[in-house]
Amino acid sequence: MSGQLKEVRNRISTVQSIQKTTKAMKMVSAAELRRAQDAILQMRPYALKLQEMLQGIAASGDNDLETGLGENRPVKKVLMVVITSDRGLCGGYNSNLIKLARQVIRDKYADLFSRGQVEIMPIGKKGYEYFVKSGYPVNGKFRQLFSGLSFVHVREAAELVVRGFLSREYDVVEIVYSEFRNAGLQQFRHEVFLPLPRASHKGNGVKHRADFIYEPGKPEILTVLLPRILNTQFYKTVLDAHASEHGARMTAMDKATENANEFLRNLKISYNRARQAAITTELTEIVSGAAAQGG
């Protein structure tokens, strides 16, 4: 009986140590989330406005897009940018992103993948480790982007993607990431980054045209503006993923702390029952011994 009590005490001590760790990680994630949330909330209006401008340029029927970043050509090779985290302990965050990336490849590019024409560009160590281990063609140049997250580093990644598309190394570039909504909610998304979306049409079949005046000239403006818009959109996507990661980790650590509380409660009940049984057994033995002596 004493051995059983000692085992339960050891388990209680272990769970209490784990609970202290999860509480500390929850507090750290909360602080990181606050900074990441401020960054994406400040960036999002600017990025959305640039996105509206990009859609307006596409809707204007600009022929310059047909031979540049908006060129739709036969798809021979695909680049899939998958943004995961560097660390684990964030629930199903990374596994859900990897699952979505695999689903997109299976549904849209199964034939190309079978011929080795789907390349993965992981941002985050968890995605890099998974895709390398699974035998996918991987470009791991920016797998540690989150270790020094800044617009300069993200711009380098975006420019590499744009150069790859313009040089026809890739015909389609898609991004799989998590869009930040709040601390407890992340929406896993995949979007076509390149080629740029084409003009939209209204119900009557008439193309929606935006009235732009280009100064000094349309080619000069588009040459400078479009890469900057793409850099900003890429940076906004990375910030979304960064905030989502910390939100997912904070939620996971909070849930782990609650589970530890419940586990501790059950262990203490088991310990008290075992202790009570041991005391009862000892009293019974004493009474029995006293009765035998008296007899």
The first and second tokens of residue 155, run together, are 């711009």
pLDDT of residue 272: 86
Which pTM does this prediction carry? 0.84
Would you give the distance in Å from CA 45 to the centre of its chain?
21
Q: List strand residue ranges (DSSP E) for the chain, in order.
A: 78-83, 118-123, 172-182, 185-194
**130 CB-near residues (< 8 Å, 6+ apart):** 84, 94, 98
Q: Where are the alpha helices (DSSP H) in 171-217?
A: none
**What confidence tens digit (pLDDT) does each residue in 37-56 have?**
999 999 999 988 888 877 77
Angstrom distance (rounded) from CA 265 to CA 245: 30
Q: Is 2-18+254-294 in CATH node 1.10.287?
A: yes
Could you write out the DSSP letters of every residue in 65-114? GGGTTT-------EEEEEE--SS--STTHHHHHHHHHHHHHHHH-HHHHH
Nearest to 200 by CA among 208, 210, 192, 212: 208
pLDDT of residue 206: 42
pLDDT of residue 202: 47
What residue spans define the domains of the chain? 2-18+254-294, 22-248
Q: Helix, strand or coil for residue 134?
A: coil
Of 8, 47, 82, 90, the catalytic one is 90
The first and second tokens of residue 231, run together, are 């850099």
pLDDT of residue 71: 86
The first and second tokens of residue 206, run together, are 């008439």
The first and second tokens of residue 246, run together, are 């910390």
Per-residue pLDDT of the chain (295 residues), as tens digits, is: 567 778 888 889 999 999 999 999 999 999 999 999 999 999 999 988 888 877 777 666 555 565 588 888 999 999 999 999 999 999 999 999 999 999 999 999 999 999 999 999 999 999 999 999 999 999 999 999 999 899 999 999 999 999 999 999 999 999 999 999 888 888 999 999 999 876 554 444 444 555 667 777 777 777 788 888 999 999 999 999 999 999 999 999 999 999 999 989 998 888 888 888 778 887 887 888 777 777 6
Angstrom distance (rounded) from CA 241 to CA 177: 6
- Is 90 assigned a catalytic role? yes
pLDDT of residue 85: 96
CATH number (1.10.150.120, 3.40.640.10, 2.60.120.1440, 3.40.1380.10) of 22-248 reads 3.40.1380.10
